[in-house]
Amino acid sequence: GERPDVVSFTAVISGCARAGDPEQAAHWLGELVREGLKVDTICINSVIDSFAKAGKMDKAVSWIRNMRDMSIEPEESTFNTAISGFAARGDMASAADWLQRLRDAGLRPNLRSHNAMLNGHARLGRPADAVAWLDVMAKDVVA
């Protein structure tokens, strides 16, 4: 019979992620690797996003670190997932750290990056900090 390819595994990984089952998504990413197929950013970002949405930021960060071991460079969306995940938990220091990592990787924060920071501060009842991010956002857009 036919052997599954990357597209087949991506469908299963994405389905598990959408169903809110990051452990199964990670399992199927492992199966993809065991089959000797090349992991792409779509697959691994699905797993990272699934862990982040489940509030398991330690595992999300672990998978981001694993990307480099797989010769995959994190993209804006990868960093934004970490920023959003930490901001959603109210851990604004970690969210800001990941925003800086995005910059250090030579990438520019985008609207999703800034909105995560704005929303995080707003959820914590820090309107002054949210307003301060509007200034940071304007500078990033102009730069």
Q: Do residues 109 and 140 make contact, with C-beta atoms less than 8 angstroms apart?
A: yes
**Predicted local confidence at residue 23, as pLDDT:** 96
For residue 137, give every residue at least 6 positions away whose Cβ sits within 8 Å of its Cβ, in sequence order, or none. 109, 114, 118
- Long-range contacts made by residues 122-131, C-beta under 8 angstroms, separation at least 24? 123/87, 123/88, 123/90, 124/90, 124/92, 129/92
Q: Do residues 58 and 82 make contact, with C-beta atoms less than 8 angstroms apart?
A: no
Per-residue model confidence as pLDDT tens for the chain (143 residues): 888 889 999 999 999 999 999 999 999 999 999 999 988 898 999 999 999 999 999 999 999 999 988 889 999 999 999 999 999 999 999 999 999 999 999 999 999 999 999 999 999 999 899 888 888 888 876 55
**Predicted local confidence at residue 75, as pLDDT:** 94
**Predicted local confidence at residue 142, as pLDDT:** 52
For residue 126, give every residue at least 6 positions away whose Cβ sits within 8 Å of its Cβ, in sequence order, or none. none
**Predicted local confidence at residue 93, as pLDDT:** 97
**Predicted local confidence at residue 44, as pLDDT:** 93
Dihedral angle at the C-alpha atoms of 118, 122, 125, 127, nearest 10 degrees?
Answer: 60
DSSP 38: P
